[in-house]
Structures are given as structure tokens and as C-alpha cells.
Amino acid sequence: MGKRLRVGVIGGGLIAQVMHLHYMRELSDRFEISAICDLSAEARDAVAREYAVPQQFDSWQELIAQPLDAVFVLTSGSHAPAAIAAAKAGMHVLVEKPMCFSVAEGQEMIDAADQAGVTLMVAYNKRYDPAYVRLVEESAQMRDVRLFRITTLESPLEPYVSHYNLRRGGPLPKDLATKLTDDNQARITAAIGEADPLSRWAYHLVLLDSLVHELNAMRGVMGEPESLEYSDIRETGLTAIFKYGGTQCILAWVDLPGIARYEMELALYSPDRRLTLSFPSPFLRSMPTLLISETGDAKSPRSSRTEEITSFNESFKEELIHFHDCITTGREPVTSGRDTLHDIALCEAIVSVHRARTPRERPSEPVLTAAR
């Protein structure tokens, strides 16, 4: 089992309350929630009471000054400043997605963790889903994969979280909210330049906020793409086409706010086999991910379809177990900062290809741009 880690949590909002704090309490033999930080006094007071957290702070700078083993950075906005400071203070770091807002920020995070000799891991829960692990195993046996399809049907959030007893804070003071918005905008500009409003919106709220999960899952199955052939950003959706040798990968995200029917699928198609992984909403605890396999006899009407529930183990909980194991054994996380930098590079590339209408070779290769 190893050492019980003293953890400080930066950000006590939705994902902290629904998943991370809940499962750290279940894993109390591995984690001790020692401190909580949030800009909202109401939210951090409520979280501290619910999870018996002994220390509260309104700034992450105060939190990382405490004697902690690890820090969870679960805020909105870029996680780079807090993650870099925590690493320099000798703390292991788990950051929620997105890792950061640009390749340059991500490289700073990696360098800080390397120099301090601490673990830097990004919380991509889908990579730790037992059904996803099965898909990776099964897909490795497929030959002549001709199409890899990634489809996300975004739906309203509230129906998936209203049954939780969430502790929400009030609105932030106007000057603080403006400061945070300006900081986000400056970091977006540093990543993609003075892009049009649609590209800036998609980079922040579609790519970094959602599709980094799908891009990382794609890379976990297929590796690094040879090229990004096409990218199109619309007010209601985004489409990107990647090339993997003879395999075309089509990623499609569409916003469908009228129906609470979130869908996210990964599907691989070869002449003699089809595999589909169907994820539930990430905000529902212990909902199983379905692995669907279809096969048939060549030149025959006979075909079959099986649906497998691999496990009811929650991917967020598996992710926390992996983080603890990496710290206590010294192994590299599956979703390390070094690996995740490729996802930020892909986000930057998708916007670039959309704007230029020109394909890009090796789009996941991190490119450090000069300060804009």
C-alpha cells in the first residue's frame, strides 16, 4: 500500500466535490485531505465540514506553504502557476484537465517537476477506465483498421449533477472575476495568437475543456498521428481528421443542449471486426462503460454482436490509486505531464489548421513558439 499522503486540494468546485474528494475519502488508507483552498468562503467552509479538512485557505500560495506531500489542482483556468510552484516546493502534483493553456506553459510544468524530482500527473480518467484498458488490448489484435471514429454528443450538465449535494459559492467580486478572465485571455493569446473569437472560444471551451480527453484517448489507442488533414470549427461543433498510415481517424464534437443524453464513443473498424467503446457521462459515479464487439463470417450472412461490461470500478478512483502508486513506487504515470503535452500541441494544431486550411504533419509534436 505504501505511504499515506497528506494532500492539499486547490479548487473545491464541481469536479472536486463530485469525484476527487469523494474517492479520496474512500481511499483514506492512501490519502489524508489536509487542506482545501477555494476563492469562495462558502464553498471551502462547506467542503471542510463535509470532509473534515483541518485547514482552509483562500489562496493557493498559502496552501503550498504547508507541509504537504501532494497537491491536487482542480480549478478552472490554467493550472500551470500553482503546479509549478507546488513542484518547486517539493510536492507531487495531480492536475485536472486541461493541464495548461499552451505548450510553453506545459513545458515549464514538466521542467519544474523534473528538477524537483516529483510526480506530475494529469487527471484523464478515461485512460484508467477498465473498459478502455480492454479496448486497447483488443484493438492491438486488429489488422487493417480502416477507420477510427471518435464522436462526442455534448449535452446539458445540470441533469447529471443535480442529484449531488453540491456546495456552491456565490459569484466572485467583479474585479476578481475580471482579473481571472483577463488572465485566461492572455494565456489563450500566447497559445494561438490574436485569433478570431470563434477560434478562441473553441480553443478554450471545446478543445481544452472537453476534447483533450478524446485526443488523449485517441493517442492511447493509436499513438501519435502522422498528420492532421482537416479541421473545421463551427458555433455548434468541431470536426478534425487525422491520418495514421492507412487508418483515417475522424473526430466529431457537437453541442446538443436540448436532451440530457451525453454520448462519447471510440470505434475502430476493420474488414472482419468492429470495436466500439461507449462512455457514460463522466459525472455519474460507477456507471459502466460498454465495450461492443462485432464479428462475422466472410461471404456469409452470419454475424454477431457482444456487449461487455468490464467492471463497475470508477475510473476516477482508479486514477487516484494510480497516482498514489506512482508516487510511492517512482513509476512514470500513464498520463504524465510529458505525455499530456502532446494533447495541448494537438489543441493548438487544430485551431491552426482550421484557420490556415492547410494540413499539418506531426501535429502532436510540441512546438515552443516565441513569446507573442
Helix ranges restricted to H, the chain:
14-15, 21-26, 41-51, 60-63, 80-88, 103-116, 130-139, 158-161, 174-192, 197-201, 212-222, 315-329, 337-356
CATH number of the domain that residue 323 is part of:
3.40.50.720
Mean pLDDT of 21-40: 97
User: For the segment 232-286, what is each residue's pLDDT rounded down to a tens digit?
Assistant: 999 999 999 999 999 999 999 999 999 999 999 999 999 999 999 999 999 999 9
Q: For a pLDDT cut of 70, what percent of the chain falls above it?
A: 98
Question: Do you find a cis peptide bond into 156, omega within 30 degrees of 0?
Answer: no
Q: What is the pLDDT of residue 368?
A: 60
Alpha-carbon distance 341 to 364, whole Å? 8
129 alpha-carbon distance from chain centroid: 13
Q: What is the pLDDT of residue 1?
A: 55
Identify whether residues 254 and 265 lie together within a single domain: yes
Alpha-carbon distance 278 to 21, whole Å? 26
Domain region containing 21: 5-124+318-336
User: For the segment 179-204, what is each residue's pLDDT rounded down to a tens digit?
Assistant: 999 999 999 999 999 999 999 999 99
370 falls within a domain = no
Mean pLDDT of the chain: 95
- Per-residue confidence band for 171, with pLDDT thresholds at 50, 70 and 90: confident
Identify whether residues 154 and 60 lie together within a single domain: no
Identify whether residues 157 and 99 lie together within a single domain: no
Alpha-carbon distance 48 to 37, whole Å? 10
Q: What is the pLDDT of residue 92?
A: 98
Identify whether residues 98 and 131 lie together within a single domain: no
Identify whether residues 224 and 347 lie together within a single domain: yes
Identify whether residues 32 and 162 lie together within a single domain: no
294 falls within a domain = yes
Mean pLDDT of 91-99: 97
Is 50 exceeded by the pLDDT of residue 371? no
Q: What is the pLDDT of residue 141?
A: 95
Identify whether residues 112 and 191 lie together within a single domain: no
User: For the segment 284-308, what is each residue's pLDDT rounded down to a tens digit?
Assistant: 999 999 999 999 998 899 999 999 9
User: For the segment 316-363, what is each residue's pLDDT rounded down to a tens digit?
Assistant: 999 999 999 999 999 999 999 999 999 999 999 999 999 999 999 999
Structure-block grid coordinates of residue 44? 471551502
- Evaluate the CA torsion angle 327, 332, 335, 337 in order and state its sign: positive
Is 60 exceeded by the pLDDT of residue 369? no
Centre a 10 Å sphere on the Cβ of residue 83 and count the other Cβ atoms it contains.
31
CATH number of the domain that residue 251 is part of:
3.30.360.10
Identify whether residues 114 and 243 lie together within a single domain: no
User: For the segment 101-150, what is each residue's pLDDT rounded down to a tens digit?
Assistant: 999 999 999 999 999 999 999 999 999 999 999 999 999 999 999 999 99
Structure-block grid coordinates of residue 106? 506545459
Structurally, how many domains does the chain consist of?
2
Alpha-carbon distance 339 to 333, whole Å? 9
Identify whether residues 97 and 192 lie together within a single domain: no
Centre a 10 Å sphere on the Cβ of residue 355 and count the other Cβ atoms it contains.
16
Q: What is the pLDDT of residue 299?
A: 86
Centre a 10 Å sphere on the Cβ of residue 134 and count the other Cβ atoms it contains.
18
* 8 A C-beta contact, residue 249 and residue 243: yes
User: For the segment 199-218, what is each residue's pLDDT rounded down to a tens digit?
Assistant: 999 999 999 999 999 999 99
